[in-house]
Amino acid sequence: MDSILVTGNGPLSGRIPIAGAKNACLTLMPATLLSEEPLTLTNAPRLSDIRTMTALLQSLGAEVTSLQGGQVLAMSSHDLNNHVADYDIVRKMRASNLVLGPMLARLGHAVVSLPGGCAIGARPMDLHIHGLEALGAEIELRDGYLHAKAPRGLKGAVVEFSFASVGATENVMMAATLAKGTTVLKNAAREPEIVDLATCLRKMGARIEGDGTSEITIEGIDRLHGATHPVVTDRIELGTYMLAPAIAGGEVECLGGRLDLVASFAEKLDQAGVTVTETETGLKVARTGGPIRAVDVTTEPFPGFPTDLQAQMMALLATAEGTSVLEERIFENRFMHAPELTRMGARIEVQGGTARVTGVEQLKGAPVMATDLRASVSLILAGLAAEGETVVSRVYHLDRGYEHVETKLQAVGAKIERIRG
């Protein structure tokens, strides 16, 4: 298995292009199942999670062709010949559950294995099931698979989520586009990926209003048509690379970055003493001197601080002056990076969903293990600021979510390389 060798090398300088969003692309791809006509996505990221979704859609009978080195995905679901999303594919990635709503809406039945993905908590599917049942689906769990059918078709309904789940909002929103009548999603998630999905579905003819707010209204129609859609910028990749100069020093411009995608995160960087400015081509991040100040962070649904940037932020705060309190409110088991950062000299005390991080003057390189996608990149960021060599092993998680991480960081002066193994 590959590992990544990082050697702390001082300030960074240059530009890093930010890719299309993994999480947006993973929900836009299943939208192809809603229509017989082609759906083409541009600005797609080149990641193993995208290849997993490609394999899943192909297993259902969809055609998915990767063009321009993977940046364009040409999809067609003219002939769907299978309605079973198999455990062997689904276990690799939780987002596989996003085929459930579209398949049910288009075919009237679907069998989807319960998902796997990063081991960051229980991550059940009760909210997805509740929403689809409200639209008239009958869903049973048998042998690790959800067996869903809508014998009389899906019907619009009012669905109130007890928690603003991203995946449940996406699944039910997609299903509702082909339901009879009007669906209202209350306490819907407001993430930019939801807005991107709604924008794409509207291009396919769907009638959706209110995306980006906590109440989304969808008026069902008989059929959706084809469309071409560019995937929104990846706000998590953006935030991750914004942290590179914050932790190592220097000035980096993240090309394609938008402040509205990372506002609450950028505010915390500002409080920590890092300067973020909008440019014509993206966001410029500078740390030109002075220590990082401790800040308290609580993860929340969008527009709050994203859970997917918590691990990376912890790496920065491990080098701050003073003690920061990080509260994880989205996932119950998302501090697996803390013991690894501790191996690099960080001072972190975890109690339940709270981590107290007391900054140290200097992190030290060490062999560490990547335990999930965002944890692995937090260890790379810590390595940029550490004295000596850090070897991050088990980086297959990293490849699920970051394209060309070594090349992007090398381009701004980091000493980082992949060791094939």
Residue 246 C-beta: closest distance to ligand UD1, Å: 21
Residue 22 C-beta: closest distance to ligand UD1, Å: 7
CB 311 within 8 A of CB 374: yes
Using rule CB under 6 A, residue 114 touches ligand UD1: no
- Cα separation, 182 vs 150, whole angstroms: 17
Tell me which DSSP letter residue 52 carries.
H
260 annotated ligand binder: no
CB 175 within 8 A of CB 199: no
Q: Determine which residue in the list 4, 12, 26, 62 makes contact with ligand UD1, applying CB under 6 A.
A: 26
Helix (H, G, I), strand (E, B) or coil at 398: helix
Q: How many residues bind ligand UD1 (CB under 6 A)?
A: 22
Task: Please give the residue whose beta carbon sits closest to ligand UD1 in the complex.
Answer: 167
Using rule CB under 6 A, residue 308 touches ligand UD1: yes
Using rule CB under 6 A, residue 56 touches ligand UD1: no
Residue 225 C-beta: closest distance to ligand UD1, Å: 25
CB 180 within 8 A of CB 155: yes
Contacts of residue 367, defined as CB under 8 A and 6 or more positions apart, other chains included, come to 343, 390, 391, 393
Tokens representing 296? Answer: 């308290």
- Cite the DSSP H helix spans in 152-307: 166-176, 192-203, 235-248, 263-272
Q: Determine which residue in the list 173, 274, 330, 405 makes contact with ligand UD1, applying CB under 6 A.
A: 330
Using rule CB under 6 A, residue 166 touches ligand UD1: yes
With respect to ligand UD1, which residue has the nearer C-beta, 187 or 342? Answer: 187
Q: Is the peptide bond before 306 cis (omega within 30 degrees of 0)?
A: no
Using rule CB under 6 A, residue 331 touches ligand UD1: yes
Using rule CB under 6 A, residue 167 touches ligand UD1: yes
Q: Give me the 115-154 binding string for ligand UD1, x by CB under 6 A, dash otherwise.
A: ------xxxxxxxx--------------------------
Catalytic residue status for 254: no
CB 15 within 8 A of CB 253: yes
Q: Which amino acid is at 405?
A: V
Residue 27 backbone phi and psi in degrees, to 5:
-100, -25
- Sequence ranges of the binding site for phosphoenolpyruvate: 22-23
Residues that bind ligand UD1 (CB under 6 A): 23, 26, 94-95, 121-128, 163, 165-168, 193, 307-308, 330-331
- Sequence ranges of the binding site for UDP-N-acetyl-alpha-D-glucosamine: 94, 123-127, 308, 330
